[in-house]
């Protein structure tokens, strides 16, 4: 996460594809995704696509309610769904 945060200070990506990893041992958050999303909020025009494990959907939904996520795809990733999410991004520009 530190490397990603440092990179975001130098670059302004159009799309970030990341994974939600639920971590119950964090005291003030559920995942490092929350840290990333706090940084992304300062980058207008950057969209986020998140991959998640189905058994952690409930925890992921709590994060998704607080942050703008362009698309969320469960594992195993369906290539057609990923392609559709990327096409929606391209057509929104």
Global pTM reads 0.87
pLDDT for the residue numbered 31: 78
- Asked whether 32 and 21 are in contact (CB, 8 A), the reply is yes
pLDDT for the residue numbered 51: 97
User: Splitting the chain (93 residues) into consecutive groups of 10 residues, what average pLDDT does each group show?
Assistant: 84 92 65 87 92 94 93 97 93 77
| 48, β-bridge pairs | 16
List the one residue out of 29, 63, 59 whose CA is nearest residue 48: 63
């Amino acid at each position: 996460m530190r490397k990603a945060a440092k990179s975001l200070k130098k670059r302004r990506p159009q799309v970030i594809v990341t994974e939600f990893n639920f971590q119950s041992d964090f005291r003030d958050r559920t995942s490092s995704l929350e840290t990333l999303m706090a940084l992304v909020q300062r980058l207008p025009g950057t969209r986020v696509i998140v991959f998640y494990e189905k058994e952690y959907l409930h925890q992921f939904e709590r994060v998704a309610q607080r942050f703008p996520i362009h698309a969320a795809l469960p594992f195993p990733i369906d290539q057609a769904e990923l392609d559709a999410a990327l096409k929606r991004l391209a057509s929104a520009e």
